[in-house]
Amino acid sequence: MPTTAQRVRTAFDDALARREALPSWAPAATARAARDAWFADADAFGAAEAALDEVAGLFGLGPAEAALVGVAHVVEQHPSAHVLVGVLAGDEGAARPTVALAFEIAGLSLADPVARARLGEGARLVRSGLLVVDGDGPLPARRLRLHERAAMRLLGEAGPLAPALDRLVLPASPADVPGTAAVAAALRAGEPLVWVHSPLGTVGTAMAVAACQELDVDVLVADLERQPSTPGVLPDPLVVRGVLRDLVLEAGLQGAVLVLGGAHLAGPLVQELDRAVVPVVAVGRTAWDAHWAAELPATVAAGRLTSGDRSALWDARLGAGVVGRDVTALRLSPEQVAVVARRALADAELADEDTPSGPTLRAAARRLSAGGSAGARASAGTGSGASLDDLVLPARTRLEVERLVGWVRDRDDVLALGDLHGKGGKGTGISALFSGSPGTGKTLAAHVVADSLGADLFQVDLSAVVDKYIGETEKNLERVFGQAESLGAVLFFDEADSLFGSRSAVNDARDRYANQEVSYLLQRMEASEGVTILATNLRGNLDPAFARRLHFMVHFPDPDEETRTRLWRHHLGQLPRTDPDDPVDVDLLAACLELAGGDIRNIVLAAAYDAVAQRKDVGMNEVRAAANREMAKLGRRVGDTRWTV
């Protein structure tokens, strides 16, 4: 039985003979010479011809469709074939085939609507990306072009992916978690599209890879979240459509299932995956939206990794016992573990470390969350450097902060015990309220929580979030929550009572919508998958409904004398030395000045500037002068007579 390429060559021979039979066909000699040169080298294209039939099988093409691909391919295969195609199409020299010529070679009639539909937008050839129909004139005059990747595949050239596509493709990293068998069963049943709901903390992509391995099929893994975009802004639909088509084509050429992470970013365009020429497992942060397509896909909830699962992943990359609990608590997927491990190994080598340390691993992990959002600013990509040792707090307050960190680290192990967070749209996030007077350490504690978890702190800029136009505040907040969740960042609302305040009586339309904003926030916090911290100076101003949704309510009291002593020693301890001839009387400072930690920090900083200006070390004189200025700034006087002596 002749191959597709052999049938195409025979059809070209017949087309040439028909034209040569015409009286006075001017380019006859040129066409015959091109044909002879092409056919003389035909034996050298055996591998490419076999590849054409293989690709036709992978994409389920019939003989006529395969012939159309073959016609578009010959111009890539041989320069003389390129000339022959141009001459037969009515051009003076080499050119791509017109649709009219391609139909003639494939034995199709331009008058047949079914035949013309083979090159329609929804047809397999075009939908798969194999063929591109160029031009906007009448269909017969348009040109057929083979996609570059398809041409390379038919010529036996592997070649690298285009940079725009290569940045999206990931190594296949499996994780056999609950849900794997369900994905495998759906693919085995022939489902064209499987939607995996994979919110923060789950491993939908790795689960889909494990399902494909269970079925012993190849897999192409890509992630739309790696597509460059403006934070908080959905990517350009035209760009997404092109990327989806290229990914489907690449999966088809490899004979692989396409596993697509970040599929929620495709929005309504995800319906195109339901008609893809390869099976697709789409992994999205959100549940399937019924408005995306007329049909509902098979849907599977993604499973979670336990800390033991993550320990095994880290051990496989770095060796047993290298990482501690602070690293295994990071909610990284297998793909992210691989990326972070490679970066940490390189950083460790630069730092002359035998193995990556915990801080090196956390710093590498933090780079994954580089980014920002409208209405939120992220802490520096390397972290604030704050640790629990920097918190000078009463024992009970410090213990609550430590418990908060511990809850987040142990969250996945607790979730593995059962659905303890509840159902009905409740997320697995953890929320806390930090209350206390200004300067008592609430913001520093938020930084400590984020740094202890190896995460960035997204500090919400309320002026950019609250909008005077009805409904815009909710949209802004959704972007902030969504961005923080997707990047695994800690979300921090400072002075939250201005936004999360008590709902009021409805006296006008603005009151009604303000109450709706508070209600939305209550629902969004409850559905959150991340870590949210609210800070307020006036706990009593907070809507009581928030208290029921908070896992922690941590009070930061004004420091007593013993705590102030520790604060003074801590901040003065940041100096390399103090003036031995003018010793700082810490006990006097703590006894006379009833200040919060932030005020004490300001005094030590100001004293340092004064001392440097005088080219000397900080002494009691500089501290006393700075303290007097700070008290004046606060509008307060020192009543203790010992201070003026």
Nearest to 181 by CA among 189, 171, 173: 189
Residue 500: what pLDDT? 61
- pLDDT for 609: 95
CATH 1.10.3470 fits 307-369, yes or no: no
- pLDDT of 513 strictly over 70: no
Helix (H) or strand (E) holding 589: helix 586-592
Instruction: Please give the pLDDT value at position 211.
Output: 96
Mean of all residue pLDDT scores within the chain: 84
Confidence class for position 498, pLDDT limits 50, 70, 90: low
In this prediction, residues 252-274 reach a mean pLDDT of 90
| Average pLDDT, integer, range 603-607 | 93
Element (DSSP H or E) covering residue 546: helix 544-549
Local structure of residue 293 (DSSP, 8 states): -
Q: Where in the chain is the domain with CATH 3.40.50.300?
A: 388-556
Q: Does the pLDDT of residue 464 top 70, yes or no?
A: no
The domain made up of 561-644 has a fold known as Helicase, Ruva Protein; domain 3 (1.10.8)
**What CA–CA distance (Å, rounded) separates 85 from 98?**
9
Q: How confident is the model at residue 383 (pLDDT cuts 50, 70, 90)?
A: low
Q: How far apart are CA 464 and CA 476, in angstroms?
A: 8
Two tokens at 67?
A: 């012939």
- Would you say residue 435 has pLDDT above 80? yes
Written as six digits, the tokens of 466 are 């609250």
Percent residues over pLDDT 90 in the chain: 34
Q: Indicate whether 511 pLDDT > 80.
A: no
Q: Which overall architecture, per CATH, does domain 168-301 show?
A: 3-Layer(aba) Sandwich (3.40)
Residue 374, pLDDT > 80, answer no
The CATH 1.10.8.60 portion of the chain extends over: 561-644
Mean pLDDT of 280-305: 90
Segment 107-113 shows an average pLDDT of 92
Structure tokens, 604: 């030590």
* % of the chain exceeding 70 in pLDDT: 88
Residue with tokens 């002749």: 2
Answer with the residue of higher pLDDT: 38 or 517.
38
User: What is the mean pLDDT of the segment spanning 234-242?
Assistant: 81
pTM: 0.74
Question: Count H helices, E strands: the chain?
Answer: 28, 14
Rounded CA gap, 363 and 530, in Å?
19
The predicted pLDDT at position 1 comes to 77
pLDDT at residue number 504: 47
- For 27, phi then psi, to 5°, come to -85, 20
Residue 293, number of CB atoms within 10 A of its CB: 18
Q: Which residue has the higher pLDDT, 568 or 43?
A: 568
Residue 239 has pLDDT above 80, yes or no: yes
Lowest mean pLDDT, pick from 110-119, 135-144, 330-339, 552-561: 330-339
Whether residue 367 has pLDDT greater than 80 = no
Please check the confidence at residue 79 and state whether its pLDDT lies above 70.
yes
What's the chain's Rg over C-alpha atoms?
33
Give me the residues paired with residue 202 across strands: 304
Q: Class for domain 388-556, per CATH?
A: alpha beta
The pLDDT of residue 509: 45
Separation between Cα atoms, residue 322 and residue 314, nearest integer Å:
8
DSSP three-state, residue 42: helix
**pLDDT at 188 > cutoff 90:** yes
Q: What is the pLDDT of residue 503?
A: 45
